[in-house]
Chain A
Amino acid sequence: MAQESSPHPLFPHQSADERARHGFLVEFKRLLGSRYRENIRRSYEKTVLPDFLAQVGRAPQTRAEAKALLHRDEYFRLWTALARAQHQGYVDSTGACVERQAETLSAVARAVARSASRGSLRLDESLNIPAYQSELDVHCVPGGYFVELGADDVYAGARYELGITLFTLGAHGYMNDSKGIAGVNFLRQRFPQFTPQRVLELGCTAGNSTLPYVDAWPEAEVHGIDLSAPCLRYAHARSELLGRAVHYSQQNAESTAFPTGHFDLVVSHILLHELSAEALPRVFAECRRLLRPGGVMLHVEVPVRYSRLDAFEQALSDWDTDFNNEPFWEGLHATDLAAVAREVGFGSAEIFDVDLDPALMAFINRQPWMAFGARLPKSNGQ
C-alpha cells in the first residue's frame, strides 16, 4: 500500500482520516487566502469607504484609520471568522494527531538523546520564561510552545512542525527550511569569503532553519537555543535522525550563557516578530556581544514593509496581530530596526536591510524574505 513520504522518522504520522482532514483544511485556506481575500478590498471600497469619504472628505491616510474602517466591513468580518475557524480546525486536528502518538514520539526522542553522538541537548528547568511568551498562546495554538504532556515530552515541537507544514500550505519547503536556505544563500552572496566556525541560531524551535547552516558549513560548530524544552528535545532528536550535529540548549536570546565574542554568525528566522518591544533591543545587544570581530548578525523575517503599502494594505497586513495572537507583529513592522541596532552599538555602515531571493517567498504575504542584520568590522579595522 502506498504511503505518503515523511521528511524524517520523527515527523508525526497522519492517519488516512487525518490526511483527508488536513488536506481539506489546506485547500480551504488556499482558496480563502487567494480568491476570497482579493474580495476584501472590493467590499471595503464599496461598503465602508464611501461613508468615510463623505464625512472626512478624503481617503484614510493612516493604518489606524483604514483599520477602523476595515474592521467594520461585514465581508471582512465573515472572511476573518472563516479564517479563524479554519485555523482553529487545523490547530485542533494537528494537536489531536500528535497527542495520540506523543508517547511514541517522546520515546523515540529519548532513545536518540541517550545514544546521540553528533550534537548535544542541554535543558534548564530553572530558566525563567518571559511573561510576553508564557502568558499568551501565540498563533492561537493552545499551550503554545511550552505545553508538556509528560516526561521528556516533544508534543509542542512535533505539533509545531506538522502545524507549520500545513499552515504554510507547504510553501516553506518539504523540510520547512526555506528560511534557513534563504539566509545561507544571502550570506554566501553578500560575504563570499565568510566561513563561520561557530554559528548560533536564536529561537530555533524545531531546528528546521538550523540545518541549512550545518549543510552550508559542515566544519562549523552549530548551536540552537530556544525557550521551549519540548521543542528543543524534538529539534535535537530530529537533527540526530537526519544525521546533523547541532548543539541545542534552553536559553533566553535576551541573555545567553555563551562567552563574549564566541560566534562568527548569529541568526534568527521569524523570531523578531515574536519579541516584545522591550526584548528586541536586548536581543540585538546580545547578538553584538556574542559576535567576534568580522562576525555577522542575520535576522530573516517576514517582509511587511509598510512604506510600500497603502493604508488599506497596511491594515490588512496586521491581521495576525489583530486576530491570530501575534501581539508584536504590528509593532515590529512599525519599528526602525536600524535605529535599534545603532542604539546597541552597531555602526550605520555595518547594517543591512534587504529583500532576499524572490524564489523563496514568505508564505504569509507572498513576498521575498527580508534580511536585517549587521556585520561587525574586522579587528584590523577593515
Chain B
Amino acid sequence: MEQLDTPHVASELTPWDRVQRARHPQRPHTLDYVFALCEDFVELHGDRRFGDDAAIVGGMASFNGRTVMVLGHQKGSDTRENMRRNFGMPLPEGYRKAQRLMRHAEKFGIPVLCFVDTPGANPNKESEERGQGNAIAEGIQVMTTLRTPIIATVIGEGGSGGALAISVGDRILMQENSIYSVASPEAAASILWRDSARAPDASRALKLTAQDLLELEIIDEIITEPAGGAHLDAQAAINAAGERIAVHLEQVCALDLDTLLHERYAKYRSIGRFEEQQNVLLRV
C-alpha cells in the first residue's frame, strides 16, 4: 500500500490501484463527511424491530442551509472501531434502520443524502436468519418510490447488493478513487479465475471504477479527489464532495415530486445493454 502514498498521474492508475485507494484505512468515512459538511447532526438509532447496527449510521443534520437525512455505511479507522462497526458490513437491522430513516425523511419532506462505503452486506449466520435478502430488497424497494429527493455518493467501496440497498437515488455520484462493483474483485477472481489472487485481473474486467461507470452511464458525476487520493488530504476530499453534493441537491430539490419520481423511474428503467431484434415474433 506504500506506493499509493506517492502521488500518481491519474491516468497511470490501474483499477486495482483504485481498489486499494478506495479501501485505504485513512480514507475519510461517512461520519467524517457528516461532521465536516453538516451542522447540528442528531444521530438516530435502531430499526425498532431487532437492534441497532453500528455499520450503518444516520440522522438529521443541516447541510448547505437545508435539513437533510444523512445515511451511510460506517467503517472504522482502526481495528477496534472496525470490530465494533463490522468493517462497514451491515446486518439486516442496519438496512432496516436505514429504511426507517428514509421513511422518516419522506414523512417530513427532508431530502436524503447517502454515503456508500461497504465491502458488502454482512455474510454471517445471523444475517441469514434475520433475512439479509429481504432487508436489502426492502431497501431497494423503499428507495424506488420514496417521495423525497435522494442523492447517493460512493465515498469508498460500493460493494454489490450491500451498497445498492442504500444507494438507489436521483443522483449517483462517485469519488475519483471509489469503486462500485457487482462482486468484490477477490470473490469474482475466485469464481471466474478460480484463484482469488487474480483479483487485480478481475478488478479490470468488472469495470468497477468511477471512470468506467460514468462511461457506462450508470453514475452521474465523478468528484475529483486531491492528488494521490482522499486519504492524503481528507479535508480537501470532503470539501470537494460537499460542493458537488450541494449543486445536485439544489437541482433535485427544485423539481416537483411527480417529476422527480418520473425521472428516477426512467433513470433506472433505462439501465441495461441488449440487442432488440425485430420480427422475431412473427412466428404464428
Bound together: no
Residues in chain B within 8 A of chain A (CB atoms) = none
Binding site for B on A (CB under 8 A): none
